[in-house]
Amino acid sequence: MFGFGELIYGLSITLTFSNLLYCLAGCVIGTLVGVLPGLGPVAAMSLLFPITLHIPPVSALIMMAGIYYGAMYGGSTTSILVNIPGEAASVITCLDGYRMARQGRAGVALGMSALGSFIGGTLSVVALQMVAPPLAKIALAFGFPEYFALICCGLVVLTFMARGSMAKALMMAAFGVFLGTVGTDLFTGVQKFTFGIKILYDGVGIVPVVMGLFGISEVLLNIEEGLTQEVFQTKIKNLLPSLKDWADSVGPIIRGTVIGFFLGILPGAGPVISSFTSYAVEKKVSKHPEKFGTGMIQGVAGPETANNAAIGGAFVPLLTLGIPPTPGMALLLGCLLSYGVQVGPLLIKNTPDIFWGVVSSMYIGNIMLVVLNLPLIGLWVKILKVPYVILFPLILLFCVVGVYSINNTTDEVILMVVFGIIGYLMKKYAYEAAPMVMAMILSPLMENNLRQSLALSHGSFLIFFTRPLSAILMITAMALLILPTLPWLRAKKWKGLDEAE
């Protein structure tokens, strides 16, 4: 089988006591943050970012990846039992999952969600293992113009996939590009928009920005909207679905895996859009679309499979091109860069331990997560019963201590609070944070490749259109920018998803 020998090599790395422990720690923390509303995987990964600097890179990546896919498992528990999504990718599970719980089928919903997640997660790792190495070989042909075109195309796709207004998403991407340029100019040494603030000399820190936008802002919003949550009181029994449940769920699980993996590769789509798309598709292909929202198991199995499959897909551009498609992946990139790992097409060749170690850990991690989420479900339900009034001070404290520990300065804590306020206002005024974070992370790479390309072409922008690959990418980006202005497409763009909502 393709990559079988390498997988065995990867397993030899993962199956050491310390790496198994890091994998388990990642899965437990991931499930925990998935279960708790208001602290998503990105905030949790930012929180553990400083800790990862003290452990070997493979172990760090194994743990961080565990948090990311673990949160997808945990998120569904809260959606099904509380009707509040534990994290964004489980929003859609509330619709049918909570209804199932009210009908006394909470166990089946939780069971199918965990098993679907396991199948989707595992199959997407198989696909990642097969797709990534040949893609990395193709990516070796990339030069400065191709990289710039790829980043442009990625950012445009990201804004195209945005749930709300594309213009607003583009604005956020532009602001993110600006934020990414802050710091010392690599070519001239000039200080750009630093205003004499020392912590900005090396650029705006990813962790304070991510923690502010995704962690602090969420808590602020919860405080304003009320801190009460009610766990639906039900006895959780029959976690294993019946044959009929399996028959109803096989199709959604297969479709969810395919949708999740391929949408996961696209910048910005990630687990959230994958789960929405899966739900919309299931509703479309169902003989009884009117029953969706009343407790259909297909509405749980499909999206929960898709959001896990998307994680495997999201690793493809990160590990082959060095381009992260989601903020969570961007943190993994930051983690790799902090170790001095050469991220890009040569990663698999130069550091096979990292690639195959992470891939094999995802197989192990998915097995751990099924155990954590099925037999130990009672534990997570108990955690859900901890009142949010007790949890939110702890979440804030975690954010503060996590950010402080990176450079031992309170200035970055203040920066995090500032971005918390910005994130809160952005949510209130319907501006998406993801394009901003992604653009901010990709901006230095974009600037470097743009300036190098222009130097190479003596100032001619035609360089992006005379080389075939970059021309295709640039034309795709331009087409995606023009498409939404066509009225028929604008009406059609998110019709399916809106129906799902």
What's the residue count for the chain?
A: 501
Nearest alpha carbon to residue 436 among 88, 65, 218, 168 = 168
Measured distance CA(292)–CA(346) in Å, rounded: 46
Chain residues binding other proteins by CB under 8 A are 50-51, 54, 165, 167-168, 170-171, 174-175, 177-178, 181, 185, 187-188, 190, 192-193, 216, 219-221, 223-227, 389-390, 392-394, 396-397, 400-401, 404-405, 408, 410, 413-414, 417, 420-421, 424-425, 428-429, 431, 443, 446-447, 450-451, 454-455, 457-461
Q: How far is the CB of 296 from other proteins (least distance, A)?
A: 32
In the beta sheet, which residues pair with residue 381? none
Nearest CB to other proteins, comparing residues 18 and 242: 18
List helix spans (H) across 387-467: 388-407, 410-428, 433-456, 463-466
Q: How far is the CB of 24 from other proteins (least distance, A)?
A: 17
Nearest CB to other proteins, comparing residues 29 and 126: 29
Q: Are residues 298 and 284 in contact, defined by beta-carbon separation less than 8 angstroms?
A: no
Q: What is the chain's alpha carbon radius of gyration, rounded to the nearest angstrom?
A: 22
Nearest CB to other proteins, comparing residues 51 and 197: 51
Token representation of residue 231: 């766990």
Q: How far is the CB of 170 from other proteins (least distance, A)?
A: 6
Q: How far is the CB of 32 from other proteins (least distance, A)?
A: 15
Q: Are residues 469 and 146 in contact, defined by beta-carbon separation less than 8 angstroms?
A: yes
List helix spans (H) across 140-165: 144-160
Q: How far is the CB of 19 from other proteins (least distance, A)?
A: 19
SS3 at position 195: coil
Q: How far is the CB of 271 from other proteins (least distance, A)?
A: 27
Contacts of 72 (CB under 8 A, 6+ apart): 30, 34, 41, 87, 89, 90, 117, 121, 271, 304, 307, 308, 311
Q: How far is the CB of 74 from other proteins (least distance, A)?
A: 21
Q: How far is the CB of 237 from other proteins (least distance, A)?
A: 34
Nearest CB to other proteins, comparing residues 224 and 294: 224
Nearest CB to other proteins, comparing residues 207 and 301: 207
Nearest CB to other proteins, comparing residues 292 and 398: 398
Nearest CB to other proteins, comparing residues 201 and 461: 461
Long-range contacts of 223-226 (CB under 8 A, 24+ apart): 223/392
Nearest CB to other proteins, comparing residues 224 and 350: 224
Measured distance CA(425)–CA(195) in Å, rounded: 24
Nearest CB to other proteins, comparing residues 176 and 322: 176
Q: How far is the CB of 394 from other proteins (least distance, A)?
A: 6
Residue with tokens 């939780």: 110
Token representation of residue 160: 């195209």
List helix spans (H) across 293-351: 298-321, 327-338, 347-350
Measured distance CA(81)–CA(381) in Å, rounded: 8
